[in-house]
Amino acid sequence: MVDPRPEPSSNPLMYGGLLPQEELIAMGKKFKKLTIGIPREKQQIEQRVSLTPEAVEVLVASGHEVLLETKAGEGARYNDNDYSECGAFIIDNRKQVLNADIILKVSPLENKDIDMLKGNQVVLSSMHQGRQTEEYIRGLMDKKVTAFAIEQIRDEHNCFPVIQSMSAISGISAINIAAELLSNQNGGKGVLLGGISGITPTEVVIIGADTIAEFAARAAIGLGAVVKVFDNSPQRLEELQRHLGYRLYTSIFHPKVLRRTLKSADVVIGALNLWDTGPRYFVTEDMVKDMKKGSVIIDLSIDMGGCIETSEYRTLQDAMYIKHNVIHFAVPNLPSRVARTASIALSNILSPILVTVGSSGGFKPFLKANLGVRNSVYIYNGILTNEYIGNQLDIPSKNIDLLMAAF
């Protein structure tokens, strides 16, 4: 059989010479080099760092540049040499770091940091939504930044990976702290959290049934404590028991039932997610007054306003106080107590996002394709996009989807 196709021509304009090259050219233009600045956290408040040296090495190998303020990793026990060996530039000048195209920080920027921004930058940090001021929000808006609240990033499973990882750390840490606070040394009842044979086990009451509650319950059950969980969703309570593989006492919020349970509690963990509802006190001050002397309250919802009326927003340096003979502990960044573990968890979430941003050609094309990260944007090119903040501070907000179509 004769092959009907013509012989290949030596003319470069035929066949191979006419093959379209647009895809290859587009790929070459798609990559965008990122300059990432990591300022040092205020060490009295925050010990975590947003990227580990290993993550920096991956970003540098991908063609990006990382500017690290000297001693930024100190709280997590990483020194400047660890970072410089992985390709980071160690900078003494904070303003130079804050002039990078992308600012990566764990805690929110301070107002003096905002003043040092050059403008038209990207800022990724936590937001602490319930505590932001009009001065902070308008400062970022005036600088025309695009600001992300890292705790509101969603993944492909529609989950919040930063919240989940930090919640897991917080839940386990809360039980460890409660064990310390119950001891004689800290003015507690002088009891062992959990129990041993022949002695009535301690009672741990958890307010909420989300990720924090799950890991707090796991830790408390592992120590031998009796765990009781309250939530306003029967479905979440059912899911919690399924995840634990353990039948424990659960109840929806009946004030009389909760009050009676708190009277015998040794430890109360506030673990409610209040993003959608705002500050709500499920444990009132009168309920706290009825609790046993030397019992412990740890409110892990304090960064969202708290779910226990007697909770006070504190720092790690001044976390413990006594009210109505009950020991209280309420800080917004409990994972900072185990800064290295928490930093690795954060870095594992943030570094892949940055690599993808670079390979996508920058944040704008990345956000067009990634609805989960777009969910975390609360200011876009200087325009407020978070309706909750807008209502709280009386600042007009706009839908980010409409804004992205306009820019």
Has residue 99 got a pLDDT over 90? yes
Q: What is the mean pLDDT of residues 257-265?
A: 96
- Rounded CA-CA distance 190/2 in Å is 96
What local confidence, expressed as pLDDT, does residue 129 receive? Answer: 67
- Rounded CA-CA distance 142/140 in Å is 5
Mean pLDDT of the chain: 89
How many residues belong to the chain? 407
Is 128 known to be catalytic?
yes
Q: What is the pLDDT of residues 120-135, one digit of tens each?
A: 999 999 987 667 799 9
Has residue 338 got a pLDDT over 50? yes
3-state secondary structure of 360: helix
For β-strands 203-207 and 102-104, DSSP reports them as: unpaired
How many beta carbons lie within 10 A of that of residue 107, not counting itself?
Answer: 18
Q: Superfamily for 29-152+339-406? A: NAD(P)-binding Rossmann-like Domain (3.40.50.720)
- Burial environment of residue 284 by CB neighbours within 10 A (0 to 12, 13 to 18, 19 or more): middle
CATH, domain range 164-332: 3.40.50.720
Please name the residue that has the structure tokens 């990078």.
100
What phi and psi values does residue 341 have, to the nearest 5 degrees? -60, -45
Two tokens, residue 36: 């990432």
311 and 297 Cβ atoms separated by less than 8 Å: yes
Q: DSSP secondary structure string, 59-72?
A: HHHTT-EEEEETTT
Q: What is the mean pLDDT of residues 257-266?
A: 96
Has residue 39 got a pLDDT over 50? yes
- Cα within 13 Å of Cα(127), Cβ side: 26
- Please state the pTM of the whole predicted model: 0.83
89 and 66 Cβ atoms separated by less than 8 Å: yes
Considering the candidates 128, 243, 324, 328, report the single residue annotated as catalytic. Answer: 128
What local confidence, expressed as pLDDT, does residue 6 receive? Answer: 45
For residue 169, which of 343, 349, 353, 305 has the smallest C-alpha distance?
343
What local confidence, expressed as pLDDT, does residue 187 receive? Answer: 80
- Rounded CA-CA distance 263/250 in Å is 16
Has residue 297 got a pLDDT over 80? yes
- Rounded CA-CA distance 125/147 in Å is 8
Question: In the chain, what percentage of residues exceed pLDDT 70?
Answer: 90
Q: What is the mean pLDDT of residues 229-253?
A: 93
Report residue 27's pLDDT band, with 50, 70 and 90 as the boundaries: very low
Report residue 52's pLDDT band, with 50, 70 and 90 as the boundaries: very high
Q: What is the pLDDT of residues 352-394, one digit of tens each?
A: 999 999 999 999 999 999 999 999 999 999 999 999 899 989 9
Angle (CA) 306-72-67 rounded to 5° is 120
Q: What is the pLDDT of residues 168-207, one digit of tens each?
A: 999 999 999 999 999 988 788 899 998 888 999 999 999 9
3-state secondary structure of 172: helix
Domain range summary for the chain, segments of one domain joined by +: 29-152+339-406, 164-332
Strand partners, 320: 329
Two tokens, residue 213: 């509650």
Which distant-in-sequence residues (6+ apart) come within 8 Å of 22 by Cβ? none
What local confidence, expressed as pLDDT, does residue 42 receive? Answer: 87
* Same topology between domain 29-152+339-406 and domain 164-332: yes
Has residue 14 got a pLDDT over 70? no
Q: What is the pLDDT of residues 139-163, one digit of tens each?
A: 999 999 999 999 999 998 889 999 8
105 and 125 Cβ atoms separated by less than 8 Å: yes
Question: What Å distances lie between residue 41 and 50, 77, 124, CA to CA?
Answer: 10, 13, 13
Please name the residue that has the structure tokens 């013509």.
6
Q: What is the mean pLDDT of residues 5-25?
A: 42
Which distant-in-sequence residues (6+ apart) come within 8 Å of 361 by Cβ? 29, 30, 31, 32
For residue 357, which of 331, 377, 333, 384 has the smallest C-alpha distance?
377
- Rounded CA-CA distance 330/320 in Å is 7
DSSP conformation class of 154: -
- Rounded CA-CA distance 350/102 in Å is 12
